[in-house]
Amino acid sequence: MALNWATLSPSRQPTPLPHELTIRTIDSGVELSLQIPDAPPSGSATSGGSGGAKKLKETGRIWLTDQRLIFVSDLPSKGTPSFDSLSVPLTSLISTKFEQPRFGANYLLLEIKASPGAGLVDGTRAEVRFKDKGLFEFTSALEKTRERAIYMKRQSADEEEGLPAYTTPGPSGSSSPYVTGDVPDENPPGYDD
């Protein structure tokens, strides 16, 4: 997952990865709030971090593909946005939670697994709100697509790992505890029928 790493076309749409399919698109009214905690101490240091927690908030568009969740912020009329884009592989979403507060709008809470050098740290959370769209349908599609992506990643890992190669057991004189041949015809001494 990466902050400001999505490759965008001139029309500010994400460039798809090879064999990537778009599942859902919300073209306007998406609000994304990022909470980036203070980075843990690095090296042998026992305290300190990156300078405090950050809260970033932008409005824009969101895409759900079969490989990732992509947010692209709208260009503000003045200044620059606090962040331009957020690209999160679906397998890097640790958890998703549909929140329905008593007062206020429903939102989707995402806990994100950080990638090294991607601009975020472990413990990063995102809140997604839709201004005029149904969030529940999007959340359902996201969870199903995420489960499928995790399943496919596990399948490909299993295929790469493969099963161990088995060999046939050797003759009865081998050290193997399982012997297929040379079974005695008679009972052992002292064995009662």
Q: What is the pLDDT of residue 142?
A: 92
Mean pLDDT of all residues in 69-80: 86
Distance CA 125, CA 140 (A): 19
pLDDT over 50 (residue 81): yes
Alpha carbon distances (Å) from 133 to 22, 71, 144: 18, 16, 19
Given pLDDT bands bounded at 50, 70 and 90, which one contains residue 1?
Answer: very low
Instruction: Calculate what percentage of the chain has a pLDDT beyond 90.
Output: 27
Mean pLDDT of all residues in 163-173: 61
pLDDT over 70 (residue 112): yes
> Taking the C-alpha atoms of 141, 147, 149 and 152 in order, what is their torsion angle to the nearest 10 degrees?
-140
pTM above 0.75, yes or no: no
Distance CA 187, CA 189 (A): 7
